[in-house]
A and B are shown apart, each in its own frame.
Chain A
Amino acid sequence: MRILRLTWAVAVNSFSESVRHRFFTLFSVFAFTAIYASVLAGVMAVDQEARVLTDFGLALMELTALAFAIFNAASVLPKEAETKTIYLVFSRPVPRGVYLAGKLAGSLLTSALMLAVMGAMHLLLLKVRGFGVPPCYGWALAGSMLKLCVITSFAFFVSLFSTSAVSTMVISGVVWTAGHFASETRFLADQSAGVKSAGLKAAMWLIPNLQLFNARDLSGAACSIAPPAFLSAAAWVGGSYLAALWLISKKEF
């Protein structure tokens, strides 16, 4: 109970810091502007305006939230170490695992809030244009959130051994891209043989399959996210958390 209370306290602190951060405001303004710009593309699509508006909006929301989440995850721990805030926290009876879990939860809460705010703006925009809530909208947002959970926890892990926030962002960006290539990687692994095939199959085990959560790109009944996807996301987040905990426990604060 005490551990949960401590984690919650760190998470709330991290969350309020992120929300106060000027980048959050900047990203919100950017998202709103970008979504508004998508109206222009929607007009070009004539009878497919609803679909185009939905797709542009969802994609921009995800990319904006991703940029914020990676930036936040890459800078939060190094910044706390640089400003010596972390020493103050660890001088109190706060276990490192609790601190890390709190920071991660705070970061994920910020991403969730960001998606919720942008989602509300987007739905309002659709309503103004005369459209209702698109089918599978909730699943699309849930899928984006799962992807953000996986990549944020991974960025936390990378930030503990990378030399700068930029390199963390680059590595996380590469994993994000490779994670969407899962089906293409499988196809290439099946088509090739020998070392090449083994290498590609190894990549499938090392890189999270982000297509599994990509409900945004699916339509009809297929757009719902199956329970194994939640399990997979939880396992990737848990793995990154444990790896980050291992690194942070080795550091001297």
Chain B
Amino acid sequence: MARSALPLAALLAWAVGAAVSNSCYRSPFPPPSEIRTPVAGAAGDMFSLAFGLRRLFADVWFIRLMQYYGTPEFCEHEEEEPSAHAHHHCGINGEGKYPQFLARSRHVVEIDPGFRMAALYGAGSLAFNMGRPAEARELLVYALKYSPREWKYLNVLAAIGYSKAEDPAAVAALIAPILKDPDCPVMLKQQAAFLNKKIGNYSAAAAIYADIAATSRDLAYVRNAERELEKLLRKPPARPGRG
């Protein structure tokens, strides 16, 4: 090839490369206008975009979310008590207020919309532990925008509806298929076991607790599952469907 033709050939090759990538690439991620950093961490978000490390930074945000949710809150009325010893934790079972929970869990999904477990964990905690079904729905609707065929989101959405109508049997039935999925958060499994116990379906509850004890790496959930299993084994068998 003549030397003078080399720059033209190079430009042509680059143009082909750019044309192919411009025509076939459709971003599966939310646009930057949808990314709202809830607390300090904008630099991390910048790195996640600049180095193509969305999954990694979504993991970091998820760990921060769990740390946030795992830090017990103090009851407001007790914070007014003069003695520090009078304080006790309100959110010991995850029931606290956690005002940033929705923003933080939504942010994980904004960074990595494929992080289904984070969306399920966030929605489950909001709806079933904190009693904020509207916020749980908001999170799931956002997650569905980027994973419209995700049946687990649809099931949890329906379960939230039944939980509002105080129909634990329907909620348990809707959550049941999600339990076998690797994306299912242990918190949702615990919720399903609790609901099955509530409606008298002890064998199903025991099976879920046994699964938690065998598969979870979260010692708090494992210990609770073992305790519950022991209690259930002592109970006489009951027919499902009786509240």
Contacts and interface: CB of A to CB of B under 8 A. Distances in A.
Given A46-B66, A228-B24, A242-B10, A206 B18 contact: yes
B53 A217 contact: yes
Interface string A227-247: 011011111101110110110
Given A47-B186, A236-B17, A249 B22 contact: no
Interface string A158-186: 00000000000000000011001111101
A239 B52 contact: no
B59 A51 contact: yes
A47 B12 CA distance: 49
Contacts of A240: 10, 14
B217 A242 contact: no
B131 interface: no
A187 B186 CA distance: 37
Contacts of A46: 66, 216-218
A33 interface: no
Contacts of A226: 24
B134 interface: no
A55 to B, nearest CB: 5
Nearest to A176: B51
B91 interface: no
Main secondary structure of the interface of B (DSSP, over half): helix
Given A180-B50, A216-B52, A250 B3 contact: yes
Contacts of B15: 205
A211 interface: yes
B68 to A, nearest CB: 13
A123 to B, nearest CB: 18
A6 interface: no
A229 B21 CA distance: 7
Nearest to A208: B17
Interface residues of A, number: 57
Contacts of B20: 228-229, 231-232, 235
Contacts of B112: 217
Interface in B170-206: 185-186
B16 interface: yes
Contacts of A63: 51
Given A183-B27, A209-B25, A210-B52, A219 B114 contact: yes
A88 interface: no
B19 to A, nearest CB: 8
B56 A212 contact: no
A186 B6 contact: no
A208 B22 CA distance: 10
B86 interface: no
B43 interface: no
A6 to B, nearest CB: 17
Nearest to B12: A239
A250 B3 CA distance: 8
B56 A235 contact: no
Interface stretch (B28-36, B73-81, B94-102, B230-238): B28-36
Given A235-B16, A238-B13, A242-B13, A52 B51 contact: no
A234 B29 CA distance: 25
B55 A217 contact: yes
Contacts of A205: 14-15, 18, 22
B154 interface: no
A55 B59 contact: yes
A187 B30 CA distance: 10
Contacts of A246: 3, 6-7, 10
Contacts of A212: 21, 24-25
B20 to A, nearest CB: 4
A59 B53 CA distance: 7
Contacts of A239: 10-14, 16-17
Given A180-B50, A180-B51, A220-B114, A209 B56 contact: no
8 contacts: A44-B67, A46-B217, A182-B25, A184-B49, A205-B18, A220-B114, A229-B24, A243-B10
7 cross-chain pairs, A with B, having the tightest CB-CB distances, nearest first: A235-B17, A239-B13, A183-B27, A246-B6, A219-B114, A239-B14, A243-B10
